[in-house]
Every structure is written in structure tokens, then in C-alpha cells.
């Protein structure tokens, strides 16, 4: 892929990973995605010319992570509009591509709303498509800004929670530049600590079954020159017991009105461990991840994924380039049943703080969350 995936000129600590971009070649507009299923083995791009291709990329996790799903969903609507497809139908299909990350529907609604408003004002197809694209670009730009603000708020919070620096931070799944227009959510905070010379170690949960931690967070941490160590998810308990963790930082896919946090499966056990060991458990997410229409954690729809993701190694990055579709390497007896929820829900009482671009909520209460979300976007 050449230089665009090298550590940027800003030097160690800077991430420059273009996870997604809009292009307008003569053949027509396209959405270009870095295929995350192939990382870290290969840096391969996927070029989406239509909504079904984008939906497939979302469902196979070629493009993933809550904020990036919002950006991709918005560009998907713009793509449908620019290429003359049925925009309302495209929006409906995109919004349902995965159920848990609220940002996907948020991004889609923003772009389709702009398209509708333009049509209502008498815009022709071309002008309405331009309005949808402008909105997608706005969603993208806001995410970059939100990411920087979360990093600043999160760094300040870490300073308060852990005076003395030298933080050893445990994280789960992937929350960096690969999920964002900017540097992400939880990983953006860890990066800020790294740049401030305050990160002693980033503990990276491998994040079974699709290994977002081992494959993607480790890829990002290595590029940024962070001191990091990958561990099997089940090793987290002994790490806490050994006194090796100062704080847990994770992202979120949806935060209910009561402050319950849906995030990658395996987050809830970390919250329980953190409480037992009196360690702060901090969630970093933009306010676009807060869903005040979902009353409580139990109301969040958790995506159930195919069992073969648990019973086989089937990622392209595991199988190698050119492996035939469906060729998985079994790690369980043929026919073994599997339980494979993509996310779990952590109750608000286990969450020390929620860091957003608009500020920090701690303690996490329904009232405090509602108030934060009602204040101006960048307050």
C-alpha cells in the first residue's frame, strides 16, 4: 500500500491510518475502505461502488467500530444518491446492517435527512446528492474533532484518577484510528497519555473471537511506538491480581439512557474484575454513541454472530491471501455448537466514568448523562 500507512512525519506516537475515504474517479464516486479483516497481515483496500458492497463490508467487519460505522453509513447514503440508486431504500438497508452500534443509524439518518431536506426544497438529484455528501463529510469531520476532544478530556481524567503518571492501561477490542476519522476513542486517550510520557504499558486483550485487540490494536500501538503487550482474554484476571493494571479504558457501541454500556463481548467481565480490584473502569465514546431512546441496558439489542467465528479460525488474515471462501481451520469438533454474542452490556454502577467530546460523566447517572447530551455539542 505504500507510504500512506507508514507512521507519519509527526514521528513516534502519531497515527495516520486512512481507514476510509471518499473518491470521485471518472467512472463515478466510490467509498474506499481499508479491509480490516486482512490486518495486520496485509493492507488491502476495498472499493465500494454500491450499497450492497458496503453492507457486506460492514457485516464481515471489513469496516467496523462504532464511530467509523457512523461515517461509513453516512457515506453509503451519499454513494447511493450520487450513483442514482433509491436513497431511502439504501438508508434502510444500511441502518440495519448491524444492530448494536447506534452510530450506524445516526450517520445514516444525518445523510438521508440532508438528502430529504434538499429534495423538499426542490433540489434536483445532483444537488440532493451533493447535500447528502456534504452531510457525510460533516459527520466525518465532527468525528475527527470529537476524537481529539475525548483524548484531551480522557488525559485530564487519567491525571485525576491516577496521580503520579506511569499508567498501565488495559484495553479491549479496537478503539483507535481504525474506528474513526481521527485517532479513535479509548485508544486516543491512551495515545495522549503515551505522548505525554505517562503511559508505562498498554495491555491489549486479544479479543476473541475476531481478535480486534491482537490484530488491530496491536497494529496501531506498534505504529505509534507504544509499549504494549497482547494477552489472551482469560489472562486479564491474573494480571489484575498481580497488581499490573492501573485503569481499564474501553470504547462503546451504544450507551443506554441509564449509562449501561454495550461494547465488545468481554468488556463486562473486565468491569467486574476492575471493581473487585478497585481499579477505575473508564468508557470513552462520543455523544453520538449515547442513545437516550434506549431506557436501559437490557433494552440494547446485542448482535449474535455466526458460530463458526468461535469454532474455526476463518479470518482472511488467519487463512492467508487467496484462501477459498468458507475455508476455515476447525478449533472445535465438527458440529460443535457455539455461543457468539458480539457485545455484552456493563451496568452503569460498574462504570467509573464516561468520557465524551462534551465532557466527562462521573459518577454515571441517568440525569448526568442526559444533561451532558443536552448541552452544546462541544461544551
Residues that bind ligand MRU (CB under 6 A): 61, 64-67, 101, 173, 175, 179, 184-185, 212, 251-253, 263-264, 342
Query: Nearest distance from residue 129's CB to ligand MRU, in Å?
Result: 28
All three cell numbers of 289: 454513541
Q: Which helix (H) or strand (E) holds 59?
A: helix 51-59
Query: Nearest distance from residue 190's CB to ligand MRU, in Å?
Result: 12
Q: Is 253 a catalytic residue?
A: yes
> Is residue 66 a known part of a binding site?
yes
Q: Please identify which of the residues 246, 253, 258, 291 carries the catalytic annotation.
A: 253
Rg of the chain over all Cα atoms, to the nearest angstrom: 20
Which residue lies nearest ligand MRU, judged by its C-beta? Answer: 251
Query: Nearest distance from residue 99's CB to ligand MRU, in Å?
Result: 11
Task: For residues 30 and 25, give the distance between their C-alpha atoms in angstroms, rounded to a whole number.
Answer: 8
| Nearer to ligand MRU among residue 128 and residue 273 (C-beta) | 273
Helix, strand, coil percentages in the chain from 3-state DSSP, rounded to 5: 45, 15, 40
* Burial track 54-67 (b if 16+ CB lie within 10 A, e otherwise): bbebbeebbbbbbb
Counting every residue written for the chain, the total comes to: 379
Beta strands 353-356 and 359-361: pairing type? antiparallel
> Is residue 212 a known part of a binding site?
yes
Query: What angle separates helix 66-82 from helix 125-161, to the nearest 10 degrees?
Result: 170
Task: For residues 173 and 343, give the distance between their C-alpha atoms in angstroms, rounded to a whole number.
Answer: 10
> Is residue 98 a known part of a binding site?
yes
Query: Nearest distance from residue 217's CB to ligand MRU, in Å?
Result: 10
Please tell me whether residue 202 adopts helix, strand or coil conformation: strand
> Is residue 275 a known part of a binding site?
no
Q: Are 139 and 105 in contact (CB under 8 A)?
A: no
| Nearer to ligand MRU among residue 132 and residue 190 (C-beta) | 190
Please tell me whether residue 290 adopts helix, strand or coil conformation: strand
- Nearest Cα to Cα of residue 327 among 342, 315, 337, 335: 315
Query: Nearest distance from residue 184's CB to ligand MRU, in Å?
Result: 6
Grid look-up 485517532 returns 183
> Is residue 263 a known part of a binding site?
yes
Query: Nearest distance from residue 265's CB to ligand MRU, in Å?
Result: 8
| Nearer to ligand MRU among residue 129 and residue 173 (C-beta) | 173
Neighbours of 20 (CB within 10 A): 21
Neighbours of 41 (CB within 10 A): 16
Report the catalytic residues. Answer: 253
Binding site residue list? 64-66, 98, 212, 263-264
Binding site residue list for substrate? 64-66, 98, 212, 263-264
Amino acid at each position: 500500500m505504500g507510504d500512506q500507512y507508514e507512521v507519519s512525519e509527526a514521528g513516534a506516537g502519531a497515527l495516520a491510518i486512512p481507514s476510509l475515504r471518499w473518491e470521485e474517479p471518472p467512472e463515478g464516486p466510490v467509498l474506499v475502505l481499508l479491509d480490516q479483516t486482512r490486518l495486520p497481515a496485509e493492507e488491502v483496500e476495498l472499493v465500494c461502488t454500491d450499497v450492497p458492497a458496503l453492507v457486506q463490508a460492514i457485516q464481515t467487519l471489513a469496516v467496523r467500530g462504532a464511530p467509523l460505522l457512523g461515517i461509513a453509513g453516512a457515506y453509503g447514503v451519499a454513494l447511493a444518491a450520487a450513483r442514482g440508486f433509491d436513497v431511502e431504500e439504501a438508508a434502510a438497508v444500511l441502518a440495519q446492517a448491524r444492530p448494536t452500534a447506534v452510530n450506524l443509524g445516526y450517520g445514516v439518518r444525518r445523510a438521508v435527512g440532508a438528502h430529504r431536506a434538499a429534495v423538499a426544497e426542490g433540489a434536483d438529484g445532483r444537488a440532493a446528492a451533493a447535500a447528502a455528501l456534504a452531510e457525510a463529510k460533516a459527520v466525518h469531520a465532527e468525528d475527527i474533532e470529537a476524537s481529539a476532544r475525548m483524548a484531551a478530556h480522557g488525559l485530564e481524567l487519567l491525571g485525576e484518577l491516577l496521580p503520579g503518571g506511569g499508567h498501565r492501561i488495559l484495553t479491549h477490542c479496537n478503539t483507535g484510528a481504525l474506528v474513526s476519522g481521527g485517532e479513535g476513542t479509548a485508544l486516543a486517550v491512551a495515545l495522549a497519555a503515551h505522548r505525554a510520557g505517562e503511559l508505562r504499558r498498554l495491555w491489549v486483550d486479544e479479543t476473541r473471537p475476531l481478535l480486534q485487540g491482537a490484530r488491530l490494536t496491536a497494529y496501531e500501538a506498534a505504529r505509534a511506538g507504544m509499549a504494549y503487550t497482547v494477552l489472551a482474554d482469560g489472562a486479564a484476571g491474573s494480571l489484575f491480581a498481580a497488581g499490573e493494571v492501573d485503569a481499564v479504558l474501553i470504547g462503546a457501541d451504544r450507551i443506554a439512557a441509564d449509562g449501561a454500556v454495550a461494547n465488545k463481548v468481554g468488556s463486562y467481565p473486565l468491569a467486574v474484575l476492575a471493581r473487585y480490584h478497585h481499579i477505575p473502569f473508564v468508557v470513552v465514546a462520543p455523544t453520538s454513541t449515547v442513545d437516550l431512546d434506549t431506557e436501559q441496558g437490557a433494552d440494547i439489542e446485542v448482535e449474535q454472530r455466526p458460530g463458526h467465528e468461535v469454532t474455526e479460525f476463518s479470518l482472511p488474515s488467519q487463512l492467508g491471501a487467496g484462501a477459498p471462501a468458507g475455508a476455515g481451520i476447525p478449533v472445535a469438533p465438527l458440529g460443535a455448537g457455539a455461543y457468539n454474542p458480539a457485545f455484552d452490556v456493563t451496568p452503569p454502577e460498574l462504570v467509573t466514568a464516561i468520557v465524551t467530546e462534551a465532557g466527562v460523566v462521573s459518577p454515571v447517572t441517568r440525569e448526568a448523562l442526559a444533561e451532558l447530551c443536552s448541552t452544546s455539542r462541544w461544551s
